[in-house]
């Protein structure tokens, strides 16, 4: 794949992994029909959201 053709392909891969589209893009190497994979994937995404949420962050917000 060359540079300009890679961006739309990566967009379709991200849309597939996020559940926005049902069919994987053409040339996607793995068929992700395993429920265990999807459970693990969404647990990772929820964990990332939790880590970066303000309540779990150790960053102190100062409002002037």
Domain coordinates in residue numbering, the chain: 3-52
pLDDT band of residue 44 (cuts 50, 70, 90) is very high
d(CA 51, CA 29): 30
pLDDT band of residue 43 (cuts 50, 70, 90) is very high
Residues of 29-47 as b/e, b for ≥16 C-beta within 10 angstroms? Answer: eeeeeeeeeeeeeeeeeee
Quote the pTM value.
0.47
d(CA 22, CA 5): 21
Tens digits of per-residue pLDDT, 2-34? 566 788 889 998 898 888 888 888 887 776 667
């Amino acid at each position: 794949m060359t540079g300009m053709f890679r961006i739309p392909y990566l967009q379709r891969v991200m849309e597939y992994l996020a559940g926005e589209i049902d069919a994987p893009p053409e040339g996607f190497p793995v068929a992700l029909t395993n429920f265990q994979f999807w459970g693990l994937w969404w647990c990772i995404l929820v964990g990332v959201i939790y880590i970066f949420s303000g309540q779990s962050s150790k960053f102190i917000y100062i409002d002037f």
